[in-house]
Amino acid sequence: MVDETLVAIGFKRLFADQAVWIKIDSDFQYVIGHVDDLLTRGTRTKVDETKAALQKRFKLKDLGLANMFVGLHIVHDRVNRTITLDQIHYAKEILELYSLRDCNTVFVPMQPGTQLLKTNEKLPEHEIKLYQAIVGSLGYIMNCT
């Protein structure tokens, strides 16, 4: 089990997120797990040590510098020492799925001062479900990036 192996080499599993292990000694290192994917961050030496310990117990495939993990696109800017996460590919999939690929972008969804009127007219069930699906998809992007 991954947890047993990581704990045996000095990692502690986070209580707040059971898919994250941290190790603080002379350096700070962490491992993030999702199903059968692991992402690790630390000095090259520490990462290599962790990979070697895991390879003794599991068959691993090193995919190199991460550019995608659990649906998040990862952009490394070594010059500015930043890492940027986005879900542009997922947002494009949502636009395509709901036939909104060619929609116009706006900064505000309505003109300021628009008055909304209450109506007794009920939307058809399929339109309600479609609206809920779109809002749920957008909420996922908002909460997961």
Mean pLDDT (the chain) is 90
For 29, phi and psi rounded to 5 degrees? -140, 150
DSSP 77-99: ETTTTEEEEE-HHHHHHHHHHTT
Contacts of 44 (CB under 8 A, 6+ apart): none
Domain ranges for the chain: 2-64, 65-107+121-145
Give the model confidence (pLDDT) of 82-134 as tens digits.
Answer: 989 899 888 899 999 999 888 888 888 888 899 988 888 888 999 999 999 99
The SS3 of residue 22 is strand
Q: Are 72 and 85 in contact (CB under 8 A)?
A: yes
